[in-house]
Amino acid sequence: MLRNVFFKSLQEQQRSLFWWVIGLSALNIVTILFYPSFANRPELNEIFEDLGPLAEAFMGPIEDFTSPEGFIDSQLFSFMIPLLFVAFGIFSGSGSIAGEEERGTLDLLLSNPLHRRQVILEKFGANLIAMALLGVGTWIGLVAGAVMVSMDISWLRLAEATVSSALLGTSFGALAFALGSARGKRGTAAGVSAAIGVAAFLLNTLVPLVELLEPLTRISPFHYYNSAMPLFNGLDPLHAFALVATTAVLFIVALVTFERRDLGIG
């Protein structure tokens, strides 16, 4: 009889996780390989400065785009990496409970002597480990790219920025997990989570262009992801706590709703 849902869930994700790690690592390496051409063009700073709030909206408040930190933050951590972590979190979170329920395998899982609480705990734990492994692979790709072009940048700062990305992805993964646990519909969980993610990203991105929106950024997880610029300043403990707390609350929602509702299984 199946008793270890944790390892079963990790095994189900291993193939997709492998390609996510390969893809993100390759993206990081290829992007960083372009750094030498940026480093030798200081006039780019003047161009971005002329763009003003528009450049800040999509690349962050960076003063020197030709520095190692400025290049990586503007080219990777301001857009591509966080959105890919969010996408992975939603993909994993929506498939954990709702995916099994729609495939008709959740009834087989629960036919074993397993409490629903154990299923939720172990599946969510597997998602956390998968996100951590994606973070490690992402960091390795960043370090490898930096070594290839002899980039003078702190590996610790790269790790802290990557951790912030993983916390962001985990919070949206927890949202998809909670919606899937509450409704049992993977499409709904993924769609609603993605819509909220896009809205949160646009809200945080448009602040430099619309000052009236600034107070609203506190409700966007993207504000706590990169507003303290961890690649430059290190991981902000309060911002990290906000993302962890959001994840914890959503996990509790998943636990309560899954234990109380009737499952749509055969």
Band of pLDDT at residue 218, cut at 50, 70 and 90: confident
Note the pLDDT tens digit of each residue in 168-193.
Answer: 999 999 999 999 999 889 999 999 99
**Domain count of the fold of the chain:** 1
Residue 86 in any domain: the answer is yes
Residue 65 in any domain: the answer is yes
Burial of 79 (0-12, 13-18, 19+ CB in 10 A): middle
The structure's pTM equals 0.91
Note the pLDDT tens digit of each residue in 85-109.
Answer: 999 999 999 999 988 888 877 877 7
Residue 68 in any domain: the answer is yes
Residue 180 in any domain: the answer is yes
In eight-state DSSP terms, residue 175 is H
Domain that holds residue 124: 5-260
3-state SS assignment for residue 29:
helix
Q: What is the mean pLDDT of residues 3-25?
A: 91
Residue 163 in any domain: the answer is yes
Instruction: Give the side-chain half-sphere CA count within 13 A for 136.
Output: 8
Structure tokens given for 48 = 């971005």
Report phi then psi at 219, rounded to 5: -95, -5
Q: What is the mean pLDDT of residues 135-160?
A: 97
Residue 136 in any domain: the answer is yes
Residue 147 in any domain: the answer is yes
